[in-house]
Amino acid sequence: MEIFGIEVDLSNLINIGLKIGLLILAFIIFIPIGKKIIERTINRAGSNQKISESRVKTLEKLLVNLFSYVMIFVFIVMLFAIFAIPIGPLLAGAGVVGLAIGFGAQGLVSDVVTGFFLLLERQVEVDDYITAGGYDGIVEELGLRTTKIRSFNGTLNFIPNREIIGVANHSRGNMRALVDIGISYDENIDEAISLLEKVCAEFQQDERFKDGPNPIGVQGLGSSDVVLRVVGQTENGEQFGCQRDMLKRIKEAFDEANIEIPFPHQVNIQKG
Amino acid sequence: MEIFGIEVDLSNLINIGLKIGLLILAFIIFIPIGKKIIERTINRAGSNQKISESRVKTLEKLLVNLFSYVMIFVFIVMLFAIFAIPIGPLLAGAGVVGLAIGFGAQGLVSDVVTGFFLLLERQVEVDDYITAGGYDGIVEELGLRTTKIRSFNGTLNFIPNREIIGVANHSRGNMRALVDIGISYDENIDEAISLLEKVCAEFQQDERFKDGPNPIGVQGLGSSDVVLRVVGQTENGEQFGCQRDMLKRIKEAFDEANIEIPFPHQVNIQKG
Amino acid sequence: MEIFGIEVDLSNLINIGLKIGLLILAFIIFIPIGKKIIERTINRAGSNQKISESRVKTLEKLLVNLFSYVMIFVFIVMLFAIFAIPIGPLLAGAGVVGLAIGFGAQGLVSDVVTGFFLLLERQVEVDDYITAGGYDGIVEELGLRTTKIRSFNGTLNFIPNREIIGVANHSRGNMRALVDIGISYDENIDEAISLLEKVCAEFQQDERFKDGPNPIGVQGLGSSDVVLRVVGQTENGEQFGCQRDMLKRIKEAFDEANIEIPFPHQVNIQKG
Amino acid sequence: MEIFGIEVDLSNLINIGLKIGLLILAFIIFIPIGKKIIERTINRAGSNQKISESRVKTLEKLLVNLFSYVMIFVFIVMLFAIFAIPIGPLLAGAGVVGLAIGFGAQGLVSDVVTGFFLLLERQVEVDDYITAGGYDGIVEELGLRTTKIRSFNGTLNFIPNREIIGVANHSRGNMRALVDIGISYDENIDEAISLLEKVCAEFQQDERFKDGPNPIGVQGLGSSDVVLRVVGQTENGEQFGCQRDMLKRIKEAFDEANIEIPFPHQVNIQKG
Amino acid sequence: MEIFGIEVDLSNLINIGLKIGLLILAFIIFIPIGKKIIERTINRAGSNQKISESRVKTLEKLLVNLFSYVMIFVFIVMLFAIFAIPIGPLLAGAGVVGLAIGFGAQGLVSDVVTGFFLLLERQVEVDDYITAGGYDGIVEELGLRTTKIRSFNGTLNFIPNREIIGVANHSRGNMRALVDIGISYDENIDEAISLLEKVCAEFQQDERFKDGPNPIGVQGLGSSDVVLRVVGQTENGEQFGCQRDMLKRIKEAFDEANIEIPFPHQVNIQKG
Amino acid sequence: MEIFGIEVDLSNLINIGLKIGLLILAFIIFIPIGKKIIERTINRAGSNQKISESRVKTLEKLLVNLFSYVMIFVFIVMLFAIFAIPIGPLLAGAGVVGLAIGFGAQGLVSDVVTGFFLLLERQVEVDDYITAGGYDGIVEELGLRTTKIRSFNGTLNFIPNREIIGVANHSRGNMRALVDIGISYDENIDEAISLLEKVCAEFQQDERFKDGPNPIGVQGLGSSDVVLRVVGQTENGEQFGCQRDMLKRIKEAFDEANIEIPFPHQVNIQKG
Amino acid sequence: MEIFGIEVDLSNLINIGLKIGLLILAFIIFIPIGKKIIERTINRAGSNQKISESRVKTLEKLLVNLFSYVMIFVFIVMLFAIFAIPIGPLLAGAGVVGLAIGFGAQGLVSDVVTGFFLLLERQVEVDDYITAGGYDGIVEELGLRTTKIRSFNGTLNFIPNREIIGVANHSRGNMRALVDIGISYDENIDEAISLLEKVCAEFQQDERFKDGPNPIGVQGLGSSDVVLRVVGQTENGEQFGCQRDMLKRIKEAFDEANIEIPFPHQVNIQKG
């Protein structure tokens, strides 16, 4: 049978249809089994060898992800085999189309190359709090092509790995708590600092603080106030809570000691 | 017959004209039937297997879209067949024109590659509220080449998929409601926070809240006010309504308790 | 005859001159006829099949545009034929010049590819109000290479299609009318909202409104005012007029009810 | 004779010298004649066929420009012919140098391609007032490679055509005149608008106005004033003068009617 | 003699050394002579044919610059000849290194191509005051690769020509002098304009002014003043001096006529 | 056995499995030993030859890093050998895939090339305080592909070396301490400078200062104050502490001497 | 012996080890000697021929730098020779790897090309104060690949030469000193200028001034002051000191003559 110059063979069509059916069936059965096996193996290995839980989760998510891509690739190759299309020359023959595909697909390759090193160099793990590619939040899943980050406001961000140019990982090691507090130009600096030292002494008992906090001196002479700075090291993730507690405590201590935290000042000269 | 060096054969022309007519006719009949079939199959499959409605819509829109592109491609190939132009060497032969086309068309390939992964990795579904490529709104249609987003102000945005570098999907999971409220430097912080806790207790009964809301402490010492922060988790899509209700309730509670929400302050020193 | 190493044949020159003359004549006669035929065919087809007028205009402009480019191409090919220069190898032979041309002309190919999809996917029609490529206005003409947009201030903008990265089409569906209004911290919020509801009830009769308008609550606590928001859906193109009318009506209603729309506030503390 | 491994032939040198001399002489004589012929032909054709003067100027400038580039090209080719260097293979042979030249020269090709379409699509004519490539002013000359724009402050700007990504042409059709005027919150809006209508009625007699001007209502509620907008269509080029006249007339009308154009307002609360 | 697998021939080494010595000697003698000849020829030609001095300077600087590059190229080619390295295949053979060099050197080619057109189209001459590539000042030297600009603050800027994307040349034709002056809302606009006309009449006698200056009306209604604009055309280079003189004269005239140039205004409403 | 057209040989599979097992085992044993050896060798060499500790750390981190990459490469090559896939032609054969990989992987090559020169030119050492690629902090590890920087706030940043375009190394040589202090317009400048000189004399005793500090005069006339500048050179890392101490000391000295550090000034003219 | 399919020959290994040892030894001895020779030769040549010291330093640093790169290249070539790997075909054979390397290494080539011209055109010398590539400071070393700039605050910046797009060299010729001073609107402009002329006359005696300083008139009418400008030319490097001295002297002169330097002004209108 010929339709507009293209020869069509019916029995061949049925044959191909059957093969495709079998192929799809095989995959529908095989894929969920494969995923289960990966998950169990990783979990057992993790609990046996005392690997940190977040590392286990990272590996599990990654392997499942990798497994999916390999399955898609195998599926496409088999499909081509069923249609008896030689895939090698197709990929190697660079013409106009090849050029366009080559250029268009370079983003994909960049994604995978970057993703590979993100994982290899352990720059990011699931549950880390990171800033990358203009997004900011908790890592939910690490893939070879895409990284999923859950923002503080609840949004789920999908970032192609190639966009992750530099990673700022906020979950590695102690974090700094910093409070800048302005006092009036009329106050005695030494008195204010000794008061800050007393407040800091209280916080140094706090388990969340790994180092300090300590007042480090006059940070600047503002237009209306003398700015004093207090700096400390806290456990990872506790820095914001610590800063909030310090702000409250310092404000109250200054109120008690009658040290003024000044409003903006302006000198008015009356004329006319 | 020869016109300016190009040989023209009349009977051949008529023959070609007839073939083109038949081809167009075939397509005019075939395309709407094809689309109907796709829509029905998807809808029946969806209702049988309890797939979420938005996923069904996404698949339907996508398959119709894909079907159109395949039909256009088939049409062009058949047109070339009618004119007996071998299409293979044409595409493979890279010369000046090929180079230009290859470069010029890479955007198209990038669109399709990105679109394919947007769908495969389920980054976006029809009716999701997303931010992508500088646009912000509800997804109306997901195509292999273009994504349509309806902005909040009613504008319909068409975005080539390659421009969708990272996707911020605001329709996945609970969202955060956040209220920052400033109180006067003269107020007692503990009192204000206990008042906020009372207000929050009311909202914790609210079904829309999944977690909280709770006051988390002193966020900062502003130039004229002490800023307190209240944070909670709400059902997806309810965060803005919740914030509006909290703002109103907190303002009224502070009014009742005579806690001042201060205007900007300035200290004036008279001179001359 | 030889001039600086290049052989020149007089009789040949005359022959070529004649041919060029004939060619130009043929085109001068043929082109306006062709354009007329296109316009009439489209118009008749349009009125027969009840296609919207803006779609007819778009198609007409496009086909005339396409016709012009095809004519220019045919003209150049015939010119080459007269001079007996084989155009195929010229285009295929990629050397230094080819490389430069290939790179330099990729912009042109990008224009046409993008233009083709702008039309195919009906992203834009003549007379739509769009924002694209940094320009903003009414579409006057859609070409394969360039889109003409008439700005609100009267400027006519020519945009190469490749610069149209994303299209924001403001002429598809209802538009939102939004009014933010600030009231004094001393006013009762519930009273102000019930007043807004009364005003909105009047507008809900207005034919231009498709949905609402309705006050949706406290949008924010500003430094000097409590901001209330009113939102509605209007017919396409009526949103700005509606907003202006709502602003006027709300202002007058607040004046009547003695609800203050406050000026910026500042607390002054006298010192010295 | 041999100098450092390069064979030199004296009689040949003299021969070449003579040829170059003749070549230069020929060009010195020929070029100004060619330019004169172009100018006269264009001017005569222009006055015969009633083409607008600015179009004649554009064509004249362009053809002289094109003629110069063709002459330079012919000159270089002849020079190569004198030295008996085969120019074809030179250009085709792409090696390291070819690659560098191909990349480096793509800007030139882009310039010419863009310039060609700027002219073909009549985006710009000499004496148009345009904004393009970050510059803004009156077009003085349109070339295949460069466009010259005279800024309002007298500067002459040279812009390579490839930098002209989008053209905003301010000399095509009527332009809008727009005046925003703020009135006090205490004024009656209807009174102010009826006054604006009276002022606008005067201007509607003005020949420069093609449509309007008319007050269109309350544009916004500013922090200290209610903003009213007046819009009209003027003849091209008259928009700025019209706006200046309207500003003056409206200000005077408001003064006469005792409608206040308010200064910034602030509410001061004295404390302490 | 063999050192780590590389065969070394002593007599050959001495031979090569001698040749290099001779070559360097020849260049040390030849280059300054060549430069002198160029300078004298240009100067004599310039004074004979009444070419403007700045054009002569431009040509001289350029030819010396070109001469230097040609000499460097000849030197390198001869060096290769001495070592008997065939330079042709070296340049043509594109491998990894060739690719890298080709890409890396494209900037150089862009520089020369742009430089060539900067000169050919006389966009810039030595001593012009231009803005280009983010720099701003007087052109000191124009080269094929680099342009030197002396900034107003004395800095000497070296700009690769490829960075000169558009040139704003401030030394071609008359320049505009513009003064915006604010008067109080209480002043009579007509009086102020007639006073400005008197002041302008004085300046119209000034030789530096080619056209105007003239008051053109109310430019805007500022938050505290009515802004009037005065515009004129001055000789090139005199615009800044003229503006300074006009500012002084207008300020004094307004003082004499008791027209107020107002300070920023604010309306204060006392509360509480 | 054949599965969907791909021939599978069981005994071969087992054979391959065994080989892979052995290979993994060999690597698990070999890699930690290799790392230990590197660390010890470097440390011993460092202590013998009195190389600075930070240089030793840099070399150690680098060599371990390099060793890991070499091991990964060897592992992959061996894996290919086990499967008997010839790796050479695979890498050399550039088709569509090759093109995409070549483009996608260029980032990797850029990383290594840049990393190599960062190390070779000793631009950065472990423990240096640097600003690079938009990040700012202490270098924790230098790799061929990635540099790890610990920010002041505790965040660990991973930067691909190609992003490190310019390095600002703050740990090389003395640093400047700079204090700008504003005095009232009513104060005597000479008095204030002589007071600053007295304060500076105290600090010149300070061991942390390598040069100065000295007052260098009037830096500017601010809108409300006369700004004086004090500049000195301190030991590396001590600049911030020194600045804080100077700020405190100068503020106290000015208080004692009754020299006013003024608040912002404004002249108010009462009207109406 | 065979390890995982790779044949290993022990005696060969020892042989290679020995050769490498010898090679390293040769380089350890040879490199410091080579550097010494270069330094001495340059220094002697410099002192003999009265070349400026900074030029001598530049050349010395450059040649040592160049010598190092040549040595590294020779070392790598010899290493390849020892392993008997033919380096030519390796570099020429462009496959996937070649493509990646070619693209990745183009930055390196750009560095060297730019560096070469920076030196050849003497754009920068050691000890010049320049602004380039976003950095600003004194040049410490000029290399073929990298330029080292010492910032004013002590930081040492390493800039790859390709990033040095334009160089602003502040060490070539006299620099401008500029002071803008605001006087009250009530002051007589002529008086203030004649006072400035007196102050400038004092500075004209100052050796550091090459031209001026002179008051050039009214630069602008500010919102609260009339701005006068004083401009002069100073010796290179003295401009900042001169400006500071002028600021101090002018402020004192205005104080003596009772000319007011005004604070910001505001007109207050009391309402309500």
How far does C8 lie from chain B, in Å, by closest CA? Answer: 23
Q: Do E175 and D155 touch (CB under 8 A)?
A: yes
pLDDT computed for residue C4 by the predictor:
47
Contact A100, B105 (CB under 8 A): yes
Give the residue-averaged pLDDT of C195-201.
92
- A202-216, C183-197, G68-82 — which is least confidently predicted? G68-82
Bridge partners of B228? B181, B218
Report the residue from F4, F107, F135 with minimal CB separation from A81. F4
pLDDT computed for residue F8 by the predictor:
52
Give the residue, C17 or C186, on which the prediction is more confident.
Answer: C186
Is the pLDDT assigned to residue C134 strictly greater than 80?
yes
Give the residue-averaged pLDDT of G120-143.
88
Provide the chain C residues 14-33 that lie in CB contact (below 8 A) with chain D: none
Contacts 24+ apart (CB under 8 A), B197-201: B198/B253, B199/B246, B199/B249, B199/B250, B199/B253, B200/B230, B200/B232
Give the residue, F73 or E183, on which the prediction is more confident.
Answer: E183
Report the residue from C19, C108, C170 with minimal CB separation from B155. C170
Residue indicated by tokens 């009656």: D188
Is the pLDDT assigned to residue E156 strictly greater than 90?
yes
Mean pLDDT of chain E: 81
Sequence letter at residue A187: E
Contact G267, F269 (CB under 8 A): yes
Q: Name the E strands within chain B.
A: 2-3, 6-7, 129-132, 135-142, 146-150, 156-160, 167-169, 175-183, 209-221, 226-234, 265-271
Mean pLDDT of chain G: 81
pLDDT computed for residue E49 by the predictor:
64
Is the pLDDT assigned to residue C118 strictly greater than 90?
no
Counting residues of chain B whose pLDDT is more than 90, the rounded percentage is: 29
pLDDT computed for residue A28 by the predictor:
79
Bridge partners of A218? A228
Mean pLDDT of chain A: 81
Give the residue-averaged pLDDT of E38-48.
75
Candidates B4, B178, B261, partner chain C, best to mutate (most C CBs within 10 A) = B4
Q: How confident is the model at residue A206 (pLDDT cuts 50, 70, 90)?
A: confident
Chains touching G (3+ CB pairs < 8 Å)? E, F
Report the residue from A117, A189, A271 with minimal CB separation from F252. A189
How far does G18 lie from chain E, in Å, by closest CA? Answer: 12
Give the residue, E118 or E99, on which the prediction is more confident.
Answer: E118
Q: How far apart are CA E71 and CA E87, in angstroms?
A: 17
Give the H/E segment covering residue A147. Answer: strand A146-151
- C250-264, F41-55, F132-146 — which is least confidently predicted? F41-55
pLDDT computed for residue D248 by the predictor:
92
- Report the relative pairing of strands F135-142 and E265-271 from DSSP bridges: unpaired
Q: Do D166 and C153 touch (CB under 8 A)?
A: no
Provide the chain E residues 171-210 that lie in CB contact (below 8 A) with chain D: 172-176, 178, 185, 189
pLDDT computed for residue E35 by the predictor:
83
Q: Is the CB of residue E270 less than 8 Å away from at least one CB of chain D? A: yes
| Helix residue ranges per DSSP H, chain C | 10-49, 53-82, 87-92, 96-120, 189-205, 239-256
Give the residue-averaged pLDDT of F64-77.
74
Q: Do G265 and E263 touch (CB under 8 A)?
A: yes
Which residues touch E225 (CB under 8 Å, ≥6 apart)? E182, E183, E184, E185, E261, E262
pLDDT computed for residue G80 by the predictor:
66
Tokens for E243, please give them.
Answer: 């503006």
Give the residue, F85 or E12, on which the prediction is more confident.
Answer: E12
pLDDT computed for residue D159 by the predictor:
92
- D60-69, E150-159, E254-263, G246-255 — which is least confidently predicted? D60-69
Q: How confident is the model at residue B245 (pLDDT cuts 50, 70, 90)?
A: very high
Residues of G in contact with E162 (CB under 8 A): none
Give the residue, F259 or B116, on which the prediction is more confident.
Answer: F259
Give the residue-averaged pLDDT of C148-160.
91
Is the pLDDT assigned to residue E229 strictly greater than 90?
yes
Q: Is the CB of residue C94 less than 8 Å away from at least one CB of chain B? A: yes
pLDDT computed for residue G64 by the predictor:
78
Report the residue from E103, E123, E269 with minimal CB separation from D268. E269
Tokens for B192, please give them.
Answer: 């204000």
Q: Which of B225-229, C7-11, D68-72, E105-109 has the highest mean pLDDT?
A: B225-229
pLDDT computed for residue A250 by the predictor:
92
Give the residue-averaged pLDDT of G266-271.
85
Counting residues of chain F whose pLDDT is more than 90, the rounded percentage is: 27
pLDDT computed for residue D29 by the predictor:
81
Interface predicted TM-score (ipTM): 0.74
pLDDT computed for residue B34 by the predictor:
82
pLDDT computed for residue A99 by the predictor:
58
Give the residue-averaged pLDDT of E159-185.
90
- D183-187, F84-88, F225-229 — which is least confidently predicted? F84-88
Q: Do G146 and F169 touch (CB under 8 A)?
A: no
Residues of C in contact with D81 (CB under 8 A): 4-6
Report the residue from F134, F159, F251 with minimal CB separation from A221. F251
Q: Do E173 and D151 touch (CB under 8 A)?
A: no
Give the residue, F86 or D228, on which the prediction is more confident.
Answer: D228
pLDDT computed for residue C228 by the predictor:
93
Give the residue, C221 or C100, on which the prediction is more confident.
Answer: C221
Q: How far apart are CA A188 and CA A258, in angstroms?
A: 12
Q: How confident is the model at residue F1 (pLDDT cuts 50, 70, 90)?
A: very low
Is the pLDDT assigned to residue E94 strictly greater than 80?
no
Is the pLDDT assigned to residue D3 strictly greater than 70?
no
**pLDDT, tens digit, for every residue of D171-189?**
988 899 999 999 999 889 9
Is the pLDDT assigned to residue B128 strictly greater than 70?
yes
D243, D172, D258, D170: which is closest to D213 by C-alpha? Answer: D243
Is the pLDDT assigned to residue E7 strictly greater than 60?
no
pLDDT computed for residue C31 by the predictor:
81
Q: Do B154 and C168 touch (CB under 8 A)?
A: no
Is the pLDDT assigned to residue C154 strictly greater than 80?
yes
Give the residue, C8 or A39, on which the prediction is more confident.
Answer: A39
pLDDT computed for residue F139 by the predictor:
92
Q: How confident is the model at residue D91 (pLDDT cuts 50, 70, 90)?
A: very low
Give the residue-averaged pLDDT of G118-127.
84
Is the pLDDT assigned to residue A156 strictly greater than 90?
yes
Phi-psi region of B266 (alpha: psi -120 to 50; beta: other; left: phi over 0): beta
Report the residue from A105, A261, A266 with minimal CB separation from B221. A261
Is the pLDDT assigned to residue B3 strictly greater than 60?
no
pTM: 0.79
Give the residue-averaged pLDDT of A219-225.
89
**pLDDT, tens digit, for every residue of D214-223?**
999 899 998 8
Is the pLDDT assigned to residue B60 strictly greater than 80?
no
Q: How confident is the model at residue G101 (pLDDT cuts 50, 70, 90)?
A: low
Tokens for D33, please give them.
Answer: 């004649």
Q: Is the CB of residue E152 less than 8 Å away from at least one CB of chain G? A: yes
Q: Do C155 and D167 touch (CB under 8 A)?
A: no
pLDDT computed for residue D58 by the predictor:
72
pLDDT computed for residue E134 by the predictor:
87
Residues of A in contact with F155 (CB under 8 A): 131, 168-170, 172, 175
C-beta neighbour count of B249 within 10 angstroms: 17
Q: Is the CB of residue F6 less than 8 Å away from at least one CB of chain G? A: no
Report the residue from C97, C159, C267 with minimal CB separation from D271. C267
Counting residues of chain B whose pLDDT is more than 70, the rounded percentage is: 82
Q: How far apart are CA D127 and CA D140, in angstroms?
A: 6
Is the pLDDT assigned to residue F83 strictly greater than 80?
no
Q: Do D117 and C181 touch (CB under 8 A)?
A: no
Q: How confident is the model at residue E102 (pLDDT cuts 50, 70, 90)?
A: low
Provide the chain B residues 221-240 that lie in CB contact (below 8 A) with chain A: 221, 223-224, 226, 233, 236, 239
Residues of G in contact with F189 (CB under 8 A): 248, 251-252
Is the pLDDT assigned to residue C2 strictly greater than 80?
no
Q: How confident is the model at residue E84 (pLDDT cuts 50, 70, 90)?
A: low
Which residues touch E200 (CB under 8 Å, ≥6 apart)? E212, E213, E214, E215, E230, E232
Give the residue-averaged pLDDT of B243-270.
90
- B253-257, C52-56, D233-237, E263-267 — which is least confidently predicted? C52-56
Sequence letter at residue F58: T
Q: Do D189 and C248 touch (CB under 8 A)?
A: yes
Q: Do A155 and B170 touch (CB under 8 A)?
A: yes
Q: Do E154 and G175 touch (CB under 8 A)?
A: yes
pLDDT computed for residue F272 by the predictor:
64
Is the pLDDT assigned to residue F117 strictly greater than 90?
no
Q: How far apart are CA B102 and CA B91, in angstroms?
A: 10
Give the residue-averaged pLDDT of A211-219.
89
Q: What is the largest CA-CA distance in chain D?
A: 105
